[in-house]
Amino acid sequence: MDGEVNPSMLLARIRKERYGARPSSFILNVSIEVPPGITILFGASGAGKSTLLDCLAGLVRPDDGQITVGDEVFFDSARGIYLPTPKRRIAYVFQTLALFPHLSAEENIAYGLSDLQEQEIRERVTSILNLFRVEKLRKQKPTQVSGGERQRIALARSLVTEPRVLLLDEPLTGLDAELKSAIVDDLRAWNAAKRIPILYVTHSREEVDALGERVITLDSGRVVSAGLPTDVLNAPRRKKLAQAAGFENLLSASVLDLRETDGVMRVRLLESACEIEVPLGYATPGTVVQVAVRAGDILLATERPRGLSARNLLEGRIMSLEQRGTMVIARVDCGPTFLVHITPGAVRALELTAGRRVWLVLKTHSCHLVD
Amino acid sequence: MESLWLSMKLAASVAAILLAVGTPVACWLAYSNWRWKFLLESVVALPLVLPPTVLGFYALLAMGPRGPLGKLWIALFGHGLAFTFGGLILASVLYSFPFAVQPLVASFGAVDRRLLDASAVLGAGGVRTFLRVILPLSLPGVVTAAVLSFAHTLGEFGVALMVGGNLAGVTRTVSIDIYDHVQSLEYGAANRMALILLAISFAVLSVVYAVNRRAWTPWTAK
């Protein structure tokens, strides 16, 4: 993006200290740029995501820094500029949605349009109700509609104001997959048409994969990494982030030897005899490292496999099988316990049961070292 | 029955004034982050613990011909404030202040903060947010404030006696009238008025509790 002047880029450099009830005070100290399009804000809870959004919206005043959208200055501590929330023309969909309970869907959506002529308000409300397929709910109160419909109404209420920036704080939490993907499609269509900076907070890998053009990851109030979703999330550098990004297996291991020419090192998982090969990291023999493996990246076999390129083969026993939606979570005891995701079909075809002897196959590059 | 009518008039005026004056005060108390706010909260709550005679005594001093309020009143209207209906209203407003302000503060404070944030994000300033979000969602609190200040004023005795005296048709409220009847051993007349007061108080409190159950709030799902 260097050199390119983008008329609606959101730039923020924010420092905000919070003295909470917790013993250590929290400091948000970030510098981000959000070009038009969807940028995912990713991080464990307590990483500062909501505080960051509140600062951008003007609901929380940063101690120090600058916030600009294009050439408009929202906040500049050096020049003493602080644009109040109602003047920022930002849309913000809260995690709780915050629909007005005493107003109908239609009145909620029209709330942000009070400056317009009645005729135009009616047209805009009708067109956005249609876009989000909630036309038939226009007279209903938020308590009278379903969760997914509430989420759509909240999105419609924010987008109808034609905002310059859109902030979404986990707007799809708690919806089932089908509904989620329908709303995600709506949002993508809207994004394609308007191209404004959208900052989207989520914990969900699915939403990241479906929506994200870029990802910013936060941890303890700091930006840990920023870039393409695949680059950022597939190689988590921090343990907390690994947990948030869906790395179900986090194992401690001691380094045995480094094989620089192959770009790998051998480690032994602590409290076991299992030795595996992982990508080379900054470590010396004898040090303890953390290895993260996604449960979906592990293969499970009922006989000792041969002729595989994968370097890591662990023998173990199934402790339990647990059905979760369309997925089965197997706990496998190989010394340390691994979580493995498999399909119900595979469970039937392989006749997997608790107590069965199995082999786990791990590709070297599915094993990630985290700090 | 003249005294009952007078008490009703007094209570209605006080309730109306308290809603007008108490609302901005309650708004400030509910949303301010000022560190010394507790001092003002204590001042607002004072009439709850102060004997009515103490409040009435200071009100009388202030309203007297040599008190600041009395002087101002004479300069403006040419007559004193003590022992008038106006003076009685003023003292009653002070006395019933917490009964109006505290329900308002509680109900304003109970409105989800995120709704206020949402209103601001959607471009609404403070006044619009108050009128379109806070006030409609605080309706039970507003009704409670109006009803409690009305009922509390209706039943007051000490303040009315100190500030109003006992002038028939001007400051003789129903509770003073009952006392008079008892003093002159007219138990039948005292009983009639006492019963009416009892019935009104019960009706009024029933309204407060019913409204606060959110049984009839406009957004309740059927």
Q: CB-CB: which of B115, B125, B132 is closest to A86?
A: B125
Taking the Cβ of residue A90 and every Cβ of chain B, the question of whether any pair is shorter than 8 Å is answered with yes
Q: Is B164 helix (H, G, I), strand (E, B) or coil?
A: helix
Tell me the chain B residues in contact with residue A165 when contact means C-beta distances shorter than 8 Å: none
Residue A161 lies in a domain: yes
Tell me the chain B residues in contact with residue A82 when contact means C-beta distances shorter than 8 Å: none
Å from A146 to nearest chain B CA? 13
Q: How far is CA B55 from CA B38, B48, B97, B154, in A?
A: 21, 11, 12, 17
Q: CB-CB: which of B124, B136, B217 is closest to A86?
A: B124
Taking the Cβ of residue A112 and every Cβ of chain B, the question of whether any pair is shorter than 8 Å is answered with yes
- In a mutational test of the B interface, the residue from A53, A54, A85, A170 whose CB has the highest number of chain B CBs within 10 Å is A85
Tell me the chain B residues in contact with residue A100 when contact means C-beta distances shorter than 8 Å: 115, 118-119, 132-133
Element (H, E) at A122: helix A118-131
A228 and A305 together in one domain: no
Asked which of A33-37, A84-88, A224-228 is least confident by mean pLDDT, the reply is A224-228
Dump pLDDT digits (tens) for A159-181.
Answer: 999 899 999 998 887 777 777 77
| Total number of domains in chain A | 2
Picking from A237, A264, A282, the residue at the C-terminal end of a domain is A237
A290 and A326 together in one domain: yes
Tell me the chain A residues in contact with residue B136 when contact means C-beta distances shorter than 8 Å: 102
Picking from A237, A257, A278, the residue at the C-terminal end of a domain is A237
Spatial CA neighbour of A162 closest among A99, A113, A213: A113
pLDDT at residue B220, rounded to an integer? 47
**Parent domain of A355:** 249-370
Q: State the angle between helix axes of B52-63 and B68-77 in degrees (0 to 180), rounded to the nearest 10.
A: 50
pLDDT at residue B222, rounded to an integer? 38
Q: CB-CB: which of A59, A102, A112 is closest to B136?
A: A102
Tell me the chain B residues in contact with residue A83 when contact means C-beta distances shorter than 8 Å: none
Residue A5 lies in a domain: no
Query: Which chain A residue is nearest to residue B138, measuring alpha carbons?
Result: A102
A267 and A352 together in one domain: yes
A172 and A47 together in one domain: yes
A155 and A117 together in one domain: yes
Å from A167 to nearest chain B CA? 11
Read off the pLDDT band of A197 (50, 70, 90): very high
The CATH number for A21's domain is 3.40.50.300
Give B183's contacts (C-beta < 8 A, 6+ positions apart).
none
Supply φ then ψ for residue A268, to 5 degrees: -115, 125
Q: b vs e for B78-113, b when ≥16 Cβ sit within 10 Å of the residue's Cβ?
A: eebbbbbbebbbbbbbbbbbbbbbbbbbbbbeebee
Picking from A237, A265, A286, the residue at the C-terminal end of a domain is A237
A184 and A264 together in one domain: no
The CATH number for A338's domain is 2.40.50.100
Å from A217 to nearest chain B CA? 25
A162 and A277 together in one domain: no
Q: CB-CB: which of B123, B133, B217 is closest to A112?
A: B123
- In a mutational test of the A interface, the residue from B114, B121, B216 whose CB has the highest number of chain A CBs within 10 Å is B121
CB contact under 8 A, B121 and A111: no
Whether residue A186 contacts residue A132, with contact meaning beta carbons closer than 8 Å, is answered with: yes
Q: CB-CB: which of A100, A115, A161 is closest to B115?
A: A100
A279 and A308 together in one domain: yes
Element (H, E) at A212: none
Tokens of A259: 């094989």
Element (H, E) at A50: helix A49-57
Residues B177, B39: Cα–Cα separation, whole Å: 37
- How many residues are given for chain A? 371
CB contact under 8 A, A111 and B114: no
Dump pLDDT digits (tens) for A314-327.
Answer: 889 999 898 877 78
pLDDT at residue B137, rounded to an integer? 93
CB contact under 8 A, A94 and B136: no
Residue A274 lies in a domain: yes
Taking the Cβ of residue B122 and every Cβ of chain A, the question of whether any pair is shorter than 8 Å is answered with yes
Dump pLDDT digits (tens) for A316-366.
Answer: 999 989 887 778 889 998 888 899 999 888 888 888 888 899 999 998 888
- A243 or B204: which carries more pLDDT confidence? B204
Positions of chain B with pLDDT lower than 70, given as ranges: 214-222
Dump pLDDT digits (tens) for A21-54.
Answer: 555 567 889 999 999 988 999 877 778 888 899 9
pTM of the predicted protein model: 0.72
Question: Is pLDDT above 80 for A276?
Answer: yes
CB contact under 8 A, B120 and A85: yes
What domains can be seen in chain B, in order of their start residue? 2-29+48-110+139-212 (1.10.3720.10)
Residue A4 lies in a domain: no
Residues 128-147 of B with CB under 8 A from A: 128, 132-133, 136-137
Å from A271 to nearest chain B CA? 49
Give A345's contacts (C-beta < 8 A, 6+ positions apart).
none
pLDDT at residue A307, rounded to an integer? 83
A77 and A158 together in one domain: yes
Question: Is pLDDT above 80 for A237?
Answer: no
Taking the Cβ of residue B112 and every Cβ of chain A, the question of whether any pair is shorter than 8 Å is answered with yes
A223 and A258 together in one domain: no
A94 and A66 together in one domain: yes
pLDDT at residue B171, rounded to an integer? 84
Residues A5, A27: Cα–Cα separation, whole Å: 31
- DSSP assignment of B78-115 equals SS-STTSHHHHHHHHHHHHHHHHHHHHHHHHHTS-HHH
CB contact under 8 A, B124 and A57: no
Tell me the mean pLDDT in the region A14-25.
Answer: 69
CB contact under 8 A, A94 and B118: yes
Residue A244 lies in a domain: no
Taking the Cβ of residue B153 and every Cβ of chain A, the question of whether any pair is shorter than 8 Å is answered with no
Tell me the chain B residues in contact with residue A115 when contact means C-beta distances shorter than 8 Å: 123
What ipTM was assigned to the predicted interfaces of this complex?
0.80
pLDDT at residue A213, rounded to an integer? 81
Residue A354 lies in a domain: yes
Chain A and chain B share a number of CB contacts under 8 A equal to 68
Å from A36 to nearest chain B CA? 20
A169 and A268 together in one domain: no
Residues A192, A43: Cα–Cα separation, whole Å: 26
Residue A16 lies in a domain: yes
